[in-house]
Structure formats: structure tokens, C-alpha cells
Structure 1
Amino acid sequence: MFKRVLLTALLSTFLFSCQQRPESDISYEISSVTVDSIPQLKIKMTLAADKDGTTTLSFPDEAWGEQGLYNSLGKMQLLNVEGAVEKDADSSRIVLMHPKNVKKLVFEYHLKQDFDGDITTKEIYRPIINNDYFHLFSHNMFMIPENASDSDVMDILLDWTFLPEKYTVHNSFGSKEKMQLLKAQNIGLFGSAIFVGGDFRVFHGDIAGNKISLATRGEWIPFTDEEVFKVLEETLTYQRNFWNDHSQKYFTVTMQPFPQENGSSFQGTGLTNSFATSVSNNDHTDIGQMVYLFNHELMHNWIGHTIKNDNEEEQYWFSEGFTEYYTFKNIAKNKINGLDGAFFIEELNRTIRDLYASSVVEAPNVEVNYDNFWTNYEYSKLPYWRGAIFGFYLDQKIQRISSGSKSLDDVMHQIYTDATGKDQKLTHDYFIGVMDTFWDNDFETVFQKHIEKGKKVDLVALFDELKLEYSPENDIYELGFEFTEDRKGIANVVEDSQAWQAGVREGDKVFSRSVWQGQIDHEVELDLERDGEKLNITFYPVTKAAVPQLKSTPENVEKLGF
């Protein structure tokens, strides 16, 4: 009797397991293991084998600015057949050699964290795996068949049941699901996702029947989980209302804290159904920075994602600059976290100062290319500043031309309609064509002058036309010196700058530094050495210039429509 009952129980368990593990084109079974005292993730992958006896998987050694990702790979082996595994880092391939005409392969590989100590901004895009949690992106977690293109679809099974019971599992496709079957999953979208697990806390909400969530961990110093989730909820609600787009059924934000002694730092990455952030956890970080981060990056769901650039860097004035402008506008219009028209003026003034202080302030748009944008700070920020100010200029002019019946919002809605209905990409000719219907003269000349040629908008004339109060001369950012390439010395100093007057000199050795790039209200702090003498120098990095700044008055706020 006992044997019969036991057999029945085992059979029931087997049938239950089969029911819980549906068929798929490819499956991943994820478990947590410790190898030589090092916490690792073990991933057992089941996939179709190539008939010729060589199955190749894609796994990049370089991605998102990170190199040497193969350092995170541990033990690898074929489980169901005899064979061999080879790593080909140069071509980002894992080659599985096995008998011919095998139908299925069961392949197991281990992932580990390849750096010691606390994470910093240098490691946030590398696999993070420790005893408390894991934090990985698709490309450094899941190998995929090399012959699968981004446009292909597959049924993908993610089996998390072998992780510790207490682990929270959360990712771009769902929350706290131990078994996830991604039916007809686009490979390109699967390859752009975030996967976290461990001691994460998850907060859930609902916007017009669609699920949103925030996954975070650690003990936050500058704010509470609830404050951050409220900002997320408000941001998504008002942005979706603006675009009249409540089509996204599921969306999540992940927040990973990291220690940082001086200053604040935060990064965000837009992914499939998700946005992954890493934020410095100290007193220098505040909830206001999260308001900006969420509003800018989540606006990219529409500007840059739905409305695609035809030529990435060439149209960054739009995808980054207009996103920046609508970040300020969305926050102020909807008073997110209590911010209002005074905030809009403050951010617009800061953007004007940053642009005017830039060494490439009037560089032609053609110079905002791949090489310059990704290697030079000034060029990387130029389309943000230039595009935001151009967006403000167009918004105000359209309102004047139409006597308040139209605004840049109508332009954006037209572009969005064409992007979703006609698959229209953002080109310069297309943008000029749309703007011609809102402009009272030749818009192409305006566009050529301020975007193509890079000439500054005459803000003094605009402020006068709008009868806005402003001051014509103000402080702008000037660091006043340049570091050596290794940032361990002073390469040169601008004579009579604040840095010069404070005592910074060419040739000084730098032992520590605190520089808030672009911030005129934060002192620069330097520990230097000259001729064996230790020097501690502080100064505000400012200089006077003919830079118009709006006054934060109730009259100005009202005239700007806030």
C-alpha cells in the first residue's frame, strides 16, 4: 500500500511538473550556486541543435562600453551529449561541438561577478552577482542562437523555480513569476531587458488599467521608496496623457543603489518594457534628481523610441534636445513633486548658461557626429542644450503666431501620429515640412540658421518680444583650467579666471578633486602639490558674460503659461 501511494504521489508530482513547464523553442533554467566560495548563477539552456554538429551561440565580449565580459563566464558544459565548448571572444561566440543529427542540446554555463568590492559607475553595466542579489542585462546573462536575428520570434521559457524561495524575481517581462513563458517573443526586444533577483522590494501600481512597478533594494539615504514610486507614477501618468497613449500593459523601473563618497551620480537605461537605473546613495543625491531622471528618460518612450531618428546623431537636437525641453515642461505643467513654473525658468536658465559657456556653442550640426558625441563632453551635451532652447523658441513663437491656439505640443502630436500611422522617421526635411504648417514665413531659413549652422537663438529679442523680465549679464560656468589626460595634474590655467585667482597653476599635481561639471553654485575643491608643498584650493567656477537669464517672477511664470 505504501509503495502504491508513493508511486501515485511521484506520478502526480511528475505530471504537475510537466504542466508547469510548457513547451518552448528555447528554455533557460536559472539557479543560484556557490563555487569556491564565489556566488554564481547557473543557467541550464535547452535549444535546438544544428544538424551539422556545430551550434553557435551569441554572447558579446564587448557591449554598452564594457569590455572583457567573458571574464564573467565560469564553467560551461554540454549535459545530454558528448562534445566540446569553445569560447571565441573576438567574434562574441560560444561554439558547441556535438554529434551530428542531435535534435536538442542541454547546455549549462555559470555566470559570476568579475570584480571585487562595492560597485561604482564603472561596473554598473557588468554582471552583478553576490549573496544578496543579482543585477544583469539580457546581453550579459542569456546566450541566444547566433542565427537568430533581432526580428525573429521564439517561444522562450524562463524557469526561476530553482532559485531560493526568498528571492524576489523581477524583470522586463514580469514580477515575482517563478515560470515565465514569453510567447512569440521578439528576439531584439528580449535582448534589451533587465533581470534582477534577490532582496529587491517591489511596489506595484495601475495607470488606466496598465501595470507599473518599481523594484529597488538597499537602505536609501536621500529618499524613501514611496517618494520615488510616487514620482514614477506621476511621471508616467502625465506623459501618457500628453501623448494619449496608454497602450503599454506592463512597465517597470529598477533602482540599484551604489556608494559614492563625493558628489552624486545617476545613470538610466531605457529597455524593453522597462527602465533600469543606478543611483549614488548619499546625502548629495535628492529626490529632485529622480524627478529629472524619470521624466527625461521615460519621455524617450515616445521621442527617440516611437519617433525614431533617421540618422541618430544628426537628429540628436530633436531626440535629446526636445526630450530635455519636454522634461522641464511636463514637470512644471503638472507640478510633479510640487515643482512649478519657477522650476521651468530655473532649468531654462541653467540650459542657457550651459550652452553659452560651451566651447562648441556655435558648432554646426554636422560636427555632432558619432566620434565627437561619444568621446567629447562638450559635443555630447550640445544637442541637449541647443535642442531644448530651440524647442522653447519654437513653442513661444508658435503660440504668438496662432494667438495662443497652437503650440509646439501640436507639432509633437503630428509627428507622433505620422510615426505610428505611417512609420515616418524624423528627418530634417520632414520636420521642416511639418513646421511650415505652423509658421508664418520661411521656416527652412530658421532651421538652417539655428540647427544646421548652429547659430544661437537671439534670446534677448525673444524675451523682449514676449515682454519677459530678464537680466542681460550673468555668471556662467568656467572651470578655468584643464586637467592632464590622466587627470593627475593641471595642464593649463586661464589667466585671471577664478581658478587662477584662487592659486591654481600649470604643472600642479592633483591628489583629490571635487568638480560639479556645469554647476556654478558648487565650489570646486582641489588638493594640489607644488614644489613639495600641499595646497587646498576652493573656488566657484564662474565668469561674467552677456548671457540673458529670465527672472523668476509671478508675471514671467504666468506669461509662460504655468
Structure 2
Amino acid sequence: MFRKLFILIFLLPLFAYSQDKISYKVYYNKNLEQNGLKVQVDYTLKKVSDTISFYYANANWGENNLFNNLTISKEDNPDLDIETLPANNKIKITMKKGEKLSLIYHIKQDFKDPDYKIFHRPRINTTFFHVLGKNLFIVPRSFTQIPEDREFEFFIEWVDFPPQFKLHNNFVTQLRKMKIKTSLWDGLYSSLFIGGDYRFHSFKVQNKPVYFVLRDQWQNGFTDEFLFSNLKKAVQSQRDFWKDYDQDYFSVTMTPTVSQKDTLFKGYSTTGSAIKNAFMIQGTNNPFNSKNSFLYLMHHELMHEWIGNKIQNKNEELNYWFSEGFTDYYTYKNRLRIKDISIEEWQKLFNNEVIQNYWTNPQRNIPNYKIKDDFWKSRDVEKIPYKRGAIFAFWLDNQIMLRTRNKKSLDDLMRELLQICTERKVKFTDELFLDLAQKYLDKDINYFFQKHIINGEDLDLVTQKWIDGFEIMTINGIPHLGVDTCKDIKYCVE
């Protein structure tokens, strides 16, 4: 009897999860700008009920009042009583008692173009749409209460979209009917859905596809050939560095926030975000497009596939010194490794964009716990973990090379960290990293780490030891990295 009861108890959770699937139909119409994307969601409840609540985030990724993008009308849903509760990220539905629900809603763009400051709100017009999965698909609130790694089945059908209206996302490309099996937060809600007048380029790494999808004609030398050739080089080099070719599907999208041929807006504003199986680039398209800024962004966001995604923070902003700082460091180092930049260009970029940027930041001594509190509130605070972490990575890389007489470097530590996190399925913590650092340095750096990374005290770079060919001096009160190019510098030697 006990054994039967045990088996029953064991099976109950599996049965409860067995119905974690949901269907969506997304409809095309000729006036998407006015009507938005019409979405029909069909869901079978786990038990007979006359109420159900759906989840829709009213704020995410720095955007607020996202319920302004969501329209649910009585006309579309005559048999349902609907209450929207933005403060609770909630849509409450009252219906006739039963097991099945069918609900229609619309997702619309809620701002007027052009607006170069908006990146993560739905963009929908008659030419194209660009919408994050979290801003397009509502889910039952019960989905949000299931363990984060639990997978769901999402059935999505694109209805009446004309053949020339290309469809793409970070799970599949060009399919009108799809079944996506993935988690919620790191899957469907870490995704991008696009459609319209996009151009497609692709290549393969070890027979696995990588897509580059973009729209509009980009200015100042941003030709498809320039963008695509540099993407191929960056993807191949980073997978070679990590010795990791497991990614079966990868996508890079590039969408302008504003396109203008004149110089009315005298600036270049761009952003990139790493998401599931992909990263997306958005930015102003004008005569001020910067090739160097684009290449930095591309290498940085591609590196997040490992530092941030596969090596995943346990404590999010508290670990940004690593996920953003070490990504920043390897953005420059990888570009030097593949000869995308010379040693002189690398030196100049590291001095100006990392060391000087950090030393002139009025918030540079902010302790790590305050970064967690203020990261999304202040641009100065937001930059600190990038630069503090990059300087720490440079210091640690040098110390490992010195300790091992160039037989090992931070590269070896990083690849071992990837192996630990993926094979043991553990998340990144300060303690895990410090244990590895001790292994490679044969000494404990906990006090050093606490003082300079956690507390934010300045590191006296001038008095530290560096590999042959590197020297740090002070110029106008700011540390400056000197490089003796006459020496055989062992910095990027594998």
C-alpha cells in the first residue's frame, strides 16, 4: 500500500505539468500600424473553472506602462468579463464555467516614430514588426509559479501574412506554424519575434546555422557585406575560443530605431541585448554610424552567449562585475586575438574606454551592493561593473600568466568555469570564482577581491606586477597602460 501511494505521489507533479501547453494565432491585417497584431490565445485549464488570470508584465527592461500596448475589447470577447490590473501584471478573466478558454487581444505600438530613445517597446507598423516575446504573448499566471527550468509547449500560428512578409524569431525561421518547447523566463520571455521587409543572410559553423537578419539601408559604410563578414569572423572566433560548438541555431537581428539621411540628430545611439539563441541590435541609422562602436557591441553581445547565459549569475546585479565586466574585457581581447584591431589600437581602446572611463566616473568607488540598488537608475552606476570588472579581469589575467610563466592564462580559467557551470548545472557565484582563482594563482585573493570589487576601493595599478611588455604609469592622475611593442608580448598566445 505504501509503495503504491509513493508512486502516486511521485506521479502527481508530472501529471500536473503534463498540460503545460498553450496555443496562439497571430493575425495579419493591412493596417498593422492602426490595429496592431491581433492574437488569439487558446488554453485548456487543468480543472473546470469560471475564472483564470493571465500574466503580462507592465514593466521590463527599462520600459514602463507596457499595458498601454495591450488592448482587450468586449467586442472581440463577448462572452468574457475582463479586468486588467497593470499594477499586478495581471489580466483577470471571468467566463462561463468550463475547461477551455479562447481570448483575443491586440498588441499595438504606443509611441510615435521617430523616437531614438525607445528600444524595448513593441514596434509595429505596416512595413514591419519587432516585438519581444514577453511583450507579445500573455501566459496563465500559473506558468510563472512553476520552476524556472520547466519547459512548456507553445504552439504559434501566423495567419494570413503575405509571402513577402518575412517571419523570424530566435527558435525557427520562416515557419508559419511552429511548436516551441522551451522554458518561460529564459525561453519564450527571452526572445524576439520580427516580421516584414527584413533581409536574410546565413552561414554555418560546424554545419549549424547562424542567421543575420536586418532591414533598411544602413549608412556610413554599414553595408550588408561589412556587417555580415564581421559577424562571421566574430562568431567563429568566439566558438573557437570557448571550444564550444553546441549551439544548434543562432540568430542576430539588426533593426533601426530611427533612419535619417540628414544630420538633424547629431549622434549615434545603439544598444544590444543577448537573448535566447540570439542577440539583437537596435540603433540610430544616420551619417554618424560608428563602425568601432558597432564592432564593440557585436563582440560584447556575442560573448554573453557564454558569460551571462551558459555561465549564469546566481545573484544577477551583484555578479555584474563578472557577467558585464569580464564580457567587456574579452570584447577587447578577442578583437586583438583575431587581429580585428592592432596591439596599438587595443592599447588605446583599453586606456580610453576602460581605465579612463572608470577613473573619471564620479561613482567609481560605489560598493557592490549599491550597484544592485542603483544599476537601473543611474547611467554612471550602470557603467561601473563593466569597467571595474574589466580592470579586475586584466589584473587577474596578468597574475595567472606571471604565476604559470605563460603556460596558462585567464582563458584557461574561463573555459574551466564554463565546464563546471554546464556539466554540474550550477550558477556563477563569487565563491565559485574565487576558488578557481586560488587554484590558478596558488594563493587566496579573497581580501583583494573584497577590498576592490565588493567595497570599491581603488586598485593601485602602478605598483602591481604585469607581464613583460606591459607597464602602468600615472598621467594627469589617471592610470595609463603602456605597451612596449618591441618585446615579444605573450598576451594572446594560446
1:109 to 105, 112, 133: 105
Q: Percent identity?
A: 31
Question: Partner of 2:396 in structure 1?
Answer: 394
Query: Under a length normalisation based on structure 1, what TM-score does the superposition of the two structures give?
Result: 0.77
Q: Which amino acid aligns with 1:348?
A: F
Maintained 8 Å contact 1:78/1:84: no
2:276 is the counterpart of 1:280: no
Deviates more, 1:59-68 or 1:124-133: 59-68
Q: Per the alignment, do residues 159 and 24 of structure 1 end up closer, same or farther by CA in structure 2, a change over 3 Å counting?
A: farther
Deviation at 1:296, TM superposition (A): 0.9
**Deviations 1:518-556, CA, capped at 9 Å, x for gaps:** xxxxxxxxxxxxxxxxxxxxxxxxxxx222323465336
2:43 matched residue in structure 1: 47
Q: What is the SS of the residue equivalent to 1:234?
A: helix
1:400 shift after superposition: 1.3
Gaps of 5+ in 1: 1-22, 474-544
3-state DSSP of counterpart to 1:38:
helix
Q: Amino acid of the residue matched to residue 25 of structure 1? A: K
What per-residue deviation string (whole Å, max 9, x for no partner) do you get for residues 170-222 of structure 1? Answer: 1111111111122x332231122100001111111111121111111111113
| Structure 1 counterpart SS, 2:295 | helix
Measure how far apart 1:37 and its partner are.
7.7
Residue aligning to 2:226 = 227
**Separation in structure 2 between the aligned mates of residue 35 and residue 61 of structure 1, nearest angstrom:** 25
Label 1:340 to 1:245 Cα distance change in 2 as closer, same or farther (>3 A): same
Distance in structure 2 (CA, Å) of the matches to 1:243 and 1:439: 21
Mapped partners of 1:221, 1:42: distance in 2:
34
Alignment of 1:396-545 (within 5 A): 396-462=398-464, 466-468=468-470, 472-473=474-475, 545=476
CA contact (8 A) 1:469 1:556 kept: no
Letter in 2 for 1:216: L
**Which of 46, 66, 70 is equivalent to 1:69?**
66
Q: Return closer, same or farther for 1:90/1:243 CA change in 2, 3 Å cut-off.
A: same
Contact 2:462 2:473 in 1 (8 A): no
CA positional deviation for 1:464: 7.0
- 2:137 aligned with 1:142, yes or no? yes
The separation in 2 between residues aligned to 1:271 and 1:464, in whole angstroms, is 36
Q: What do the CA deviations read for 1:217-270 (whole angstroms, capped 9, x no partner)?
A: 111113112211222222121111111111111111111112271211111121
- Match for residue 174 of structure 2? 176
Native 8 Å contact 1:348 1:389 kept in 2: no
Q: Is the 8 A contact 2:28 2:161 kept in 1?
A: yes
TM-superposition CA deviations, 1:280-310 (whole Å, max 9, x none): 1122222222211111112111112222223
Q: In the TM superposition, what is the alpha-carbon distance from 1:434 to its structure 2 partner?
A: 1.2
Moved beyond 4 Å, runs of 4+:
34-37, 77-81
- What is the CA-CA distance between 1:168 and the residue it aligns to? 0.3
Which of 259, 266, 282 is residue 262 of structure 1 equivalent to?
Answer: 266
> In the alignment, does 2:344 pair up with 1:342?
yes
1:362 maps to which residue?
Answer: 365
The structure having more radius of gyration, on CA atoms, is 1
Match of 1:30 among 17, 26, 32: 26
| CA distance in structure 1 between the aligned counterparts of 2:309 and 2:445, rounded to whole angstroms | 26
Note if 1:58 corresponds to 2:58. no
- Measure the CA separation in 2 of the matches of 1:471 and 1:441: 26
Alignment match, 2:12: none
Q: CA deviation at 1:458?
A: 2.9
RMSD: 2.5
Change (3 A) 1:453 1:75: closer
Higher RCO (C-alpha under 8 Å, 6+ residues apart): 2
* TM-superposition CA deviations, 1:41-79 (whole Å, max 9, x none): 111222114622112221222222222222222353587
Q: Does the CA-based 8 Å contact 2:367-2:456 persist in structure 1?
A: yes
Matches within 5 A, 1:152-301: 152-182=150-180, 184-188=181-185, 189-222=187-220, 223-259=222-258, 261-301=265-305
Change (3 A) 1:152 1:76: farther
Match of 2:318 in 1: 314
Whole-angstrom CA distance in 1 between matches of 2:103 and 2:88:
20
Query: Residue 333 of structure 2 contacts residue 492 of structure 2 at CA under 8 Å; is this kept in 1?
Result: no
Deviations 1:72-125 (A, max 9, x none): 223535879833233222222222222112x3222222222112221322x321
Say which SS state the counterpart of residue 206 (structure 1) adopts: strand
The aligned counterpart of 1:534 is none
